[in-house]
Amino acid sequence: MVHERCNLSLPSFKFELEKSKGKVIGDSFGKEATVEQLPISKGIAGVSMRIEPGAMRELHWHATAAEWAFVLKGRVRTTVINPAGQAETNDFDPGDIWYFPRGHAHVLECLGKEPTHFILIFDNGYFSEFGTFSITDWIGHTPKPLLAKNFGLPESAFDGFPKEEVYFARGAVPPEAIPENLQGPRVSPPETHKFRMLAGAPHAIFKGGREWRVDSTRFPISTTVTGVILDLESGALRELHWHPNADEWQYIIEGDLSVTMFGSNGRFRTEQLHAGDVGYIPQG
């Protein structure tokens, strides 16, 4: 059995994400790994999110981080609106990814009768999923006279509105067909927010493994995050390497992985990562 080895001058780069509690509402949850849970991860934060059938992550936006996502299980529908008022709605299957730039408001809905599970990546390690701007939080803390004036409705129209953030809203399972906008035609943004990462052939096949890689040359809107799916065979090794211009955030989808980080001047640390764990290697 391989045990964790380290020179104690290097900090831990492992966090057991799926074993953490996070925020649980009904059968939906969000679990995060930020600098609070994993202090070394200053450049990237991550979230594991599960949404039950009929539930949605309500309309919200991130002022301090872009969002990159990879769908693990189930189906999910996203609707995103950019600052120009252009909107896009897409349906995602396992292996698909999305990217929402900072400030792009969006909704995430579970499709069908099975829950959906996906991983979210944010390009700011200090960002917290539980500190986002949510529409119910904003409306719930705005006086009714202002809401009535803003929407051109009587104050009584807001009597049943939530007073606190809903976060996960629950209701009927969405229809299979993407519905039309409530008002006016849908104007698509210049760049799509969806990419079918695992629907295509691997980026490269090596002795001992396969790699799918998506960066902004293939997915133009994803300007701050490059995503890689690495499928290693038993006993295979990702050779010695380093990243001079980017941090690396790892999520173990399945299997077990031994990771060694070298920090120069004889400093190193080896940790064992298992399914549901997160690893983080700083730029260098």
List the beta strands (DSSP E) in 62-104: 67-73, 75-81, 87-92, 97-100
3 catalytic per annotation:
no
Catalytic residue among 50, 77, 104, 106: 106
User: Which H, E and C letters describe 215-242, residue by residue?
Assistant: CCCCCCCCCCCCEEEEEECCCCCCCCCC
Catalytic residue among 62, 75, 117, 193: 62
Q: What is the largest CA-CA distance in the chain?
A: 69
57 catalytic per annotation:
yes
Catalytic residue among 52, 58, 67, 165: 67
60 catalytic per annotation:
yes
Beta bridge partners of 15: 278
269 catalytic per annotation:
no
165 catalytic per annotation:
no
Encoded tokens for 88: 């896009």
C-alpha to C-alpha distance for 94 and 276, rounded to whole angstroms: 16
Q: List phi, psi (to 5°) of 94.
A: -55, 135
**Residue 266 CB burial class (10 angstroms; 0-12, 13-18, ≥19):** exposed
Catalytic residue among 52, 58, 88, 129: 129
Under DSSP, is residue 132 helix (H, G, I), strand (E, B) or coil?
A: coil
Catalytic residue among 50, 52, 57, 269: 57
Beta strands 67-73 and 97-100, pairing class: antiparallel
Residue type, 256: D
Distances in whole angstroms, Cα of residue 266 to Cα of each of 6, 238, 243, 263: 10, 21, 19, 7
Q: Which residues are catalytic?
A: 57, 60, 62, 67, 106, 129
